[in-house]
A and B are shown apart, each in its own frame.
Chain A
Amino acid sequence: DAKTTQPNSMESNEEEPVHLPCNHSTISGTDYIHWYRQLPSQGPEYVIHGLTSNVNNRMASLAIAEDRKSSTLILHRATLRDAAVYYCILEKYYGGSQGNLIFGKGTKLSVKP
Protein backbone atom coordinates (compact mmCIF):
# COMPACT_ATOMS: atom_id res chain seq x y z
CA ASP A 1 0.00 0.00 0.00
CA ALA A 2 1.16 3.55 -0.67
CA LYS A 3 2.76 5.49 2.16
CA THR A 4 1.34 8.52 3.96
CA THR A 5 3.18 11.38 5.64
CA GLN A 6 1.73 13.28 8.58
CA PRO A 7 3.15 15.83 11.02
CA ASN A 8 4.20 14.23 14.29
CA SER A 9 2.15 16.57 16.42
CA MET A 10 -0.23 19.52 16.30
CA GLU A 11 -1.83 21.78 18.85
CA SER A 12 -5.23 23.36 18.84
CA ASN A 13 -7.36 25.50 21.09
CA GLU A 14 -10.67 24.23 22.31
CA GLU A 15 -13.67 25.17 20.16
CA GLU A 16 -11.48 26.17 17.23
CA PRO A 17 -11.28 24.29 13.94
CA VAL A 18 -8.40 21.90 13.36
CA HIS A 19 -6.95 20.94 9.99
CA LEU A 20 -4.87 17.77 10.04
CA PRO A 21 -2.86 17.30 6.83
CA CYS A 22 -1.80 14.07 5.17
CA ASN A 23 0.42 13.66 2.12
CA HIS A 24 0.12 10.58 -0.04
CA SER A 25 1.91 11.44 -3.27
CA THR A 26 2.16 7.80 -4.43
CA ILE A 27 -1.55 7.09 -4.07
CA SER A 28 -3.06 4.89 -6.76
CA GLY A 29 -6.49 5.07 -8.33
CA THR A 30 -7.88 2.24 -6.22
CA ASP A 31 -6.66 3.57 -2.86
CA TYR A 32 -9.23 4.82 -0.41
CA ILE A 33 -8.16 7.39 2.18
CA HIS A 34 -9.08 6.42 5.73
CA TRP A 35 -8.76 8.33 8.97
CA TYR A 36 -8.82 6.65 12.34
CA ARG A 37 -8.01 8.11 15.73
CA GLN A 38 -6.76 6.56 18.92
CA LEU A 39 -7.46 8.05 22.30
CA PRO A 40 -5.00 7.25 25.10
CA SER A 41 -5.13 3.61 26.23
CA GLN A 42 -7.91 2.81 23.76
CA GLY A 43 -8.23 0.98 20.49
CA PRO A 44 -8.53 3.12 17.36
CA GLU A 45 -11.90 4.34 16.17
CA TYR A 46 -13.08 5.10 12.67
CA VAL A 47 -13.38 8.77 11.79
CA ILE A 48 -14.01 9.08 8.07
CA HIS A 49 -12.95 7.82 4.67
CA GLY A 50 -13.22 8.81 1.03
CA LEU A 51 -11.99 8.18 -2.49
CA THR A 52 -12.18 11.36 -4.57
CA SER A 53 -14.94 13.63 -3.33
CA ASN A 54 -14.96 15.54 -0.08
CA VAL A 55 -16.85 13.76 2.68
CA ASN A 56 -18.71 14.95 5.74
CA ASN A 57 -20.02 13.07 8.72
CA ARG A 58 -20.97 13.89 12.28
CA MET A 59 -17.39 13.61 13.47
CA ALA A 60 -15.41 15.42 10.82
CA SER A 61 -14.94 16.45 7.22
CA LEU A 62 -12.43 15.06 4.76
CA ALA A 63 -11.09 17.35 2.06
CA ILE A 64 -9.29 15.53 -0.75
CA ALA A 65 -7.05 17.38 -3.17
CA GLU A 66 -8.02 17.25 -6.81
CA ASP A 67 -4.91 15.22 -7.67
CA ARG A 68 -5.53 13.06 -4.57
CA LYS A 69 -1.93 13.43 -3.48
CA SER A 70 -2.97 14.98 -0.21
CA SER A 71 -5.96 15.22 2.07
CA THR A 72 -7.01 17.13 5.16
CA LEU A 73 -9.08 15.97 8.07
CA ILE A 74 -11.12 18.83 9.46
CA LEU A 75 -12.50 18.91 12.99
CA HIS A 76 -14.87 21.85 12.94
CA ARG A 77 -14.77 22.62 16.67
CA ALA A 78 -12.12 20.86 18.66
CA THR A 79 -13.01 19.65 22.12
CA LEU A 80 -10.78 18.24 24.82
CA ARG A 81 -12.13 14.80 23.93
CA ASP A 82 -10.62 15.15 20.45
CA ALA A 83 -7.10 14.92 21.86
CA ALA A 84 -5.80 11.75 20.24
CA VAL A 85 -3.41 10.34 17.67
CA TYR A 86 -4.93 10.65 14.21
CA TYR A 87 -3.91 8.15 11.56
CA CYS A 88 -4.22 8.69 7.83
CA ILE A 89 -4.17 5.32 6.04
CA LEU A 90 -4.49 4.28 2.43
CA GLU A 91 -6.16 1.05 1.53
CA LYS A 92 -6.83 -0.67 -1.76
CA TYR A 93 -10.36 -1.94 -2.10
CA TYR A 94 -11.35 -5.26 -3.54
CA GLY A 95 -15.12 -5.22 -3.19
CA GLY A 96 -14.92 -3.68 0.25
CA SER A 97 -12.27 -3.12 2.87
CA GLN A 98 -9.80 -5.93 3.35
CA GLY A 99 -9.33 -4.77 6.91
CA ASN A 100 -5.61 -5.33 7.34
CA LEU A 101 -4.76 -1.67 7.71
CA ILE A 102 -1.14 -0.61 7.96
CA PHE A 103 -0.79 2.16 10.53
CA GLY A 104 1.89 4.83 10.33
CA LYS A 105 2.96 7.05 13.19
CA GLY A 106 0.04 9.45 12.92
CA THR A 107 -0.37 12.97 14.26
CA LYS A 108 -0.72 13.52 17.97
CA LEU A 109 -3.30 16.26 18.45
CA SER A 110 -3.26 18.23 21.68
CA VAL A 111 -6.22 20.45 22.54
CA LYS A 112 -5.76 23.32 24.95
CA PRO A 113 -8.66 24.60 27.03
Chain B
Amino acid sequence: GAVVSQHPSRVICKSGTSVKIECRSLDFQATTMFWYRQFPKQSLMLMATSNEGSKATYEQGVEKDKFLINHASLTLSTLTVTSAHPEDSSFYICSAKGQGANNEKLFFGSGTQLSVL
Protein backbone atom coordinates (compact mmCIF):
# COMPACT_ATOMS: atom_id res chain seq x y z
CA GLY B 1 0.00 0.00 0.00
CA ALA B 2 0.88 3.66 -0.17
CA VAL B 3 3.27 5.03 2.44
CA VAL B 4 3.25 8.45 4.04
CA SER B 5 6.35 9.45 5.95
CA GLN B 6 6.25 12.18 8.57
CA HIS B 7 9.23 13.81 10.26
CA PRO B 8 10.24 14.47 12.91
CA SER B 9 8.38 12.02 15.11
CA ARG B 10 9.02 14.10 18.18
CA VAL B 11 10.22 17.65 18.72
CA ILE B 12 10.76 19.78 21.79
CA CYS B 13 11.19 23.50 21.34
CA LYS B 14 11.29 26.70 23.32
CA SER B 15 8.36 29.06 23.39
CA GLY B 16 8.57 31.61 20.59
CA THR B 17 10.47 29.45 18.14
CA SER B 18 9.13 27.95 14.92
CA VAL B 19 8.94 24.28 14.11
CA LYS B 20 8.62 22.66 10.69
CA ILE B 21 7.01 19.26 10.19
CA GLU B 22 7.40 17.38 6.90
CA CYS B 23 4.96 14.99 5.31
CA ARG B 24 6.06 12.94 2.30
CA SER B 25 4.22 10.48 0.10
CA LEU B 26 6.93 7.92 -0.62
CA ASP B 27 5.56 5.84 -3.47
CA PHE B 28 2.76 7.89 -4.90
CA GLN B 29 1.93 11.45 -5.83
CA ALA B 30 -0.35 13.37 -3.52
CA THR B 31 -1.92 16.48 -4.97
CA THR B 32 -3.85 16.88 -1.75
CA MET B 33 -2.68 16.31 1.79
CA PHE B 34 -4.38 16.94 5.10
CA TRP B 35 -3.12 18.12 8.46
CA TYR B 36 -4.73 17.07 11.72
CA ARG B 37 -4.07 17.92 15.34
CA GLN B 38 -4.82 15.66 18.27
CA PHE B 39 -4.75 16.63 21.94
CA PRO B 40 -4.32 13.93 24.61
CA LYS B 41 -7.30 11.57 24.91
CA GLN B 42 -9.16 13.46 22.19
CA SER B 43 -9.97 12.70 18.61
CA LEU B 44 -8.25 14.05 15.52
CA MET B 45 -9.23 17.52 14.46
CA LEU B 46 -8.80 18.53 10.82
CA MET B 47 -6.74 21.71 10.61
CA ALA B 48 -6.26 22.30 6.92
CA THR B 49 -6.21 20.87 3.43
CA SER B 50 -2.92 21.27 1.61
CA ASN B 51 -3.13 21.60 -2.17
CA GLU B 52 -0.10 21.20 -4.40
CA GLY B 53 0.75 24.46 -6.11
CA SER B 54 -1.92 26.52 -4.42
CA LYS B 55 -2.89 27.93 -1.06
CA ALA B 56 -4.02 25.69 1.72
CA THR B 57 -7.61 25.67 2.89
CA TYR B 58 -7.93 26.11 6.64
CA GLU B 59 -10.75 24.91 8.85
CA GLN B 60 -12.68 27.43 10.88
CA GLY B 61 -10.79 28.59 13.93
CA VAL B 62 -7.33 27.59 12.66
CA GLU B 63 -4.98 30.55 12.28
CA LYS B 64 -3.38 30.41 8.86
CA ASP B 65 -0.60 32.83 9.86
CA LYS B 66 0.35 30.62 12.76
CA PHE B 67 0.18 27.30 10.97
CA LEU B 68 1.92 27.82 7.65
CA ILE B 69 1.40 25.11 5.08
CA ASN B 70 3.49 24.68 1.96
CA HIS B 71 2.84 22.03 -0.67
CA ALA B 72 5.48 22.78 -3.26
CA SER B 73 5.72 19.34 -4.84
CA LEU B 74 3.52 16.34 -5.49
CA THR B 75 5.19 14.39 -2.71
CA LEU B 76 5.87 16.91 0.05
CA SER B 77 3.77 19.10 2.30
CA THR B 78 5.15 20.98 5.26
CA LEU B 79 3.47 22.45 8.31
CA THR B 80 5.31 25.20 10.15
CA VAL B 81 4.11 26.14 13.61
CA THR B 82 5.29 29.73 13.96
CA SER B 83 6.06 31.37 17.28
CA ALA B 84 5.07 28.24 19.12
CA HIS B 85 3.55 28.47 22.58
CA PRO B 86 2.86 25.77 25.17
CA GLU B 87 -0.80 25.59 24.09
CA ASP B 88 0.42 24.47 20.64
CA SER B 89 1.82 21.31 22.20
CA SER B 90 -0.04 18.51 20.51
CA PHE B 91 0.20 15.47 18.24
CA TYR B 92 0.22 16.60 14.60
CA ILE B 93 -0.69 14.09 11.90
CA CYS B 94 -0.68 14.39 8.13
CA SER B 95 -2.49 12.27 5.58
CA ALA B 96 -2.73 11.90 1.85
CA LYS B 97 -5.38 10.52 -0.42
CA GLY B 98 -4.35 7.44 -2.35
CA GLN B 99 -4.30 7.14 -6.11
CA GLY B 100 -5.85 4.72 -8.55
CA ALA B 101 -7.22 1.69 -6.75
CA ASN B 102 -6.41 3.41 -3.45
CA ASN B 103 -8.28 6.63 -4.19
CA GLU B 104 -10.97 5.75 -1.68
CA LYS B 105 -8.50 5.52 1.19
CA LEU B 106 -6.46 7.92 3.25
CA PHE B 107 -2.91 7.11 4.25
CA PHE B 108 -1.58 8.68 7.41
CA GLY B 109 1.85 9.60 8.65
CA SER B 110 3.00 8.31 12.00
CA GLY B 111 2.53 11.71 13.62
CA THR B 112 4.71 14.34 15.26
CA GLN B 113 4.56 14.96 18.98
CA LEU B 114 5.30 18.64 19.56
CA SER B 115 6.17 19.81 23.03
CA VAL B 116 6.65 23.54 23.56
CA LEU B 117 8.43 24.51 26.76
Residues in chain B near residue A98, CB distance under 8 A = 97
The number of chain A residues with a CB under 8 A from chain B is 23
Are B104 and A96 in contact (CB-based, < 8 A)? yes
Chain B interface, DSSP helix/strand/loop, else mixed = strand
B55 touches A (CB below 8 Å): no
Are B110 and A103 in contact (CB-based, < 8 A)? no
Interface residue from A93, A99, A105 paired with B106 (Cβ < 8 Å): A99
| Contact of A97 with B105 at beta-carbon distance under 8 Å, contacts A41-B113, A43-B111, A44-B93 already known | yes
A97 CA to B110 CA in the complex, in Å? 21
Are B97 and A103 in contact (CB-based, < 8 A)? no
Are A99 and B111 in contact (CB-based, < 8 A)? no
Are A43 and B110 in contact (CB-based, < 8 A)? yes
A68 touches B (CB below 8 Å): no
Residues in chain A near residue B93, CB distance under 8 A = 43-44
Nearest chain B residue, comparing its CB with the CB of A89: B106
A77 CA to B91 CA in the complex, in Å? 30
| Contact of A104 with B111 at beta-carbon distance under 8 Å, contacts A97-B97, A97-B104, A99-B97 already known | no
B67 touches A (CB below 8 Å): no
A49 CA to B102 CA in the complex, in Å? 12
Interface residue from B96, B104, B111 paired with A42 (Cβ < 8 Å): B111
| Contact of A41 with B106 at beta-carbon distance under 8 Å, contacts A99-B95, A106-B43 already known | no
